[in-house]
Amino acid sequence: MTEAPRLEPHSTALPADELVELYRLMTKVRHLDTSAIAWQRQGILPGYAPMQGQEAAQVGSVRAMDTGRDFVFPTYREMGAALAAGVDMPEFMATHKATWNGGLYDATKYRFTPIQTVIAGSALHAVGWGHGQRLDAIREGRPETDLPTALIFLGDGASSQGDIHEAMNFAGIFKTPVVFFVQNNGWAISVPTEQQVAGGSVAARGAGYGIPAIKLDGNDVEAVVRGTRAAVEHARSGKGPAIVEAMTYRRGPHSTSDDPGRYRTLEDERRDAGADPIESLRDRLLADGTLDADAVTAIQAEAADFEEATRLAVQAQGPRPGAEMFEYVYQEQTEALKQQATQWREESEHV
């Protein structure tokens, strides 16, 4: 048995302009996330899975990827990751609008799979996709030292699923270029991490698979970017998978139909949430003179404009034609399905 190497954060500190860019993205994400909860209350969205508090983890981890050739495998709480990956937001929100389960965006264009409700299921997809990148290199006679890499999002709750074990074991065996990015946000709906993760750390499990891991402050965007960059460098260079465990906090409810008051108090939240990832970054950028108050105001105004434009586009989004139910089941539609589509059209559209 070989011991997993330790993973150290990437040595290069982030330049000021990159930190400003991250602050802009995180501010947009916070505005949109907060608004999406309001949209649900206003009847614009049937439901939404808030991610307040996880902006640094999501934006920072995607920042470490090459979105032109890597591929991101989210769960259902990754609006921030989607925004950072450049996914069209109204098309992403289409899943929460109940327009189309999985959203309307082209997963291959944005290299970002649809949201995953059976958490942990997509970890194996990332391993398979990553293995495909190795096979591509072998087929094309390229050295396996610069591989497109998969970023898998999972949480402390998903880590309990058997598929995570299978994914980590397969990834370790096949040395696939994947980064398991664990957002340990303290809660799987109502069950706290200490009742979820035996041993207390998902990153610690890496040792058993021979997978290097790094545990970092998920509320510190620079720590997230540098830690994830180290993990991506490891995976991309053909050394196999890596694990990043970002310690963060789900500041909001599990979903818009959740009531955290049944399982935690406001005092708990204040005590456990840690630093707000956006406020602390803003304070840092103000303190070192990178930004002034006017610049912060401008960034917030830009985020508000973006939120408004997204809301209008989401509100304008009509339902999809019912014929699409039948159209997308297969690449090669069956005769039986054609007949059902015809019957549906005759009986519901009276044609």
Partner 1 sequence: MSNLSATIEPTGHAAPASEDAMDTVTRTGSETLSMNKAINAALADVLAENPRALVLGEDVGQLGGVFRITDGLQKRFGAERVFDTPLAESGILGMSVGLAMAGYHPIPEVQFDGFTYPAINQIVTQMARMNFRTRGALPMPITLRIPSFGGIQSPELHSESLEYIFAHVAGLKVVSPSSPHQAYHLMRHAATRPDPVVFMEPKSRYWQKDTVDFDDPGTLEGSVVVRPGRHLTLVAWGGMVARCLQVAELAAEDGIDVEVLDLRWLKPIDAAGLAASVSKTRRAVVVHEAPRSAGLGAEVAQTITEACFGTLKAPVERVTGFDVPFPSGSLEAEYLPNIDRILYGIQRVLEYQRG
Residues interacting with partner 1, by CB under 8 A?
Answer: 71, 100-102, 104, 106-109, 113-114, 118, 121-133, 135-136, 138-139, 150, 162-163, 166-167, 169-170, 173, 324, 327-332, 334-337
Q: How far is CA 200 from the centre of its chain?
A: 22
Between 132 and 274, whose beta carbon lies closer to partner 1?
132
3-state secondary structure of 61: helix
Q: Give me the least distance between CB of 238 and partner 1, in Å please.
A: 14
Q: Give me the least distance between CB of 129 and partner 1, in Å please.
A: 4
Between 166 and 302, whose beta carbon lies closer to partner 1?
166
Q: How far is CA 214 from the centre of its chain?
A: 18
Helix (H) or strand (E) run with residue 250 in it = none
Placement of tokens 């180290």 in the chain: 230
Q: Give me the least distance between CB of 229 and partner 1, in Å please.
A: 23
The Cα–Cα gap between 148 and 90 comes to: 27
3-state secondary structure of 135: helix
Q: Give me the least distance between CB of 181 and partner 1, in Å please.
A: 16
Q: What is the DSSP letter of 328?
A: T
**Six-digit token pair at 300?**
């917030």
Given the DSSP bridges, would you call strands 187-188 and 191-192 parallel, antiparallel or unpaired? antiparallel
Between 293 and 330, whose beta carbon lies closer to partner 1?
330
Q: Give me the least distance between CB of 307 and partner 1, in Å please.
A: 26
Between 59 and 158, whose beta carbon lies closer to partner 1?
158
The Cα–Cα gap between 153 and 61 comes to: 9
